[in-house]
Amino acid sequence: MEYFIQQFINGVTLGAIFGLIAIGYTMVYGILGMVNFAHGDIFMIGGFISIITFMILGVLGVTWLPFSLLCMLLIAMAFTGLHGWAVERIGYRALRNSNRLAPLISAIGVSIFLQNYVQLLQGARNKPLSPIIFGGIELMTSSTGFTVTFAYMQMVIIGVATVLMAGFSVLIARTALGRQQRACEQDMKMARLLGVDVDRTIALTFIMGAALAAVAGLIWLLRYGIIDFYVGFLVGIKAFTAAVIGGIGSLPGAMLGGLLIGLIEVFWSAYFSVEYKDVAAFAILVLVLIFRPTGLLGKPDIEKV
**pLDDT at residue 304 greater than cutoff 60:** no
Task: Please state, in angstroms and as integers, the Cα–Cα distance from residue 92 to each residue in 11, 87, 108, following that order.
Answer: 34, 7, 11
pLDDT per residue as tens digits for the range 155-173:
999 999 999 888 888 888 8
**pLDDT at residue 225 greater than cutoff 70:** yes
**pLDDT at residue 249 greater than cutoff 60:** yes
Average pLDDT over residues 21-33: 84
Average pLDDT over residues 3-22: 92
Q: What pLDDT sits at residue 300?
A: 65
Q: Which fold has domain 2-127+163-291?
A: ABC transporter involved in vitamin B12 uptake, BtuC (1.10.3470)
Q: What pLDDT sits at residue 51?
A: 93
Q: What pLDDT sits at residue 14?
A: 93
What is the spatial distance between Cα 47 and Cα 74, in angstroms, rounded to a whole number? 12
Average pLDDT, the chain: 87
**pLDDT at residue 145 greater than cutoff 70:** yes
**pLDDT at residue 132 greater than cutoff 90:** no
Average pLDDT over residues 259-269: 92
What is the spatial distance between Cα 239 and Cα 222, in angstroms, rounded to a whole number? 19
Q: What pLDDT sits at residue 135?
A: 85
> How many percent of the chain have pLDDT more than 70?
98
Phi/psi of residue 141, nearest 5 degrees: -130, 130
Nearest to 45 by CA among 240, 227, 262, 260: 227
Q: Of the given ranges (15-19, 54-58, 104-108, 152-156), which has the lowest mean pLDDT?
A: 104-108
pLDDT per residue as tens digits for the range 46-89:
999 999 999 999 899 888 888 999 999 999 999 999 999 999 88
Q: Which residues of 174-211 are buried (b: 16+ CB within 10 A; e: fewer)?
A: eeeebebbebbbeebeebeeeebebeebbbbbbbbbbb
Q: What pLDDT sits at residue 302?
A: 57
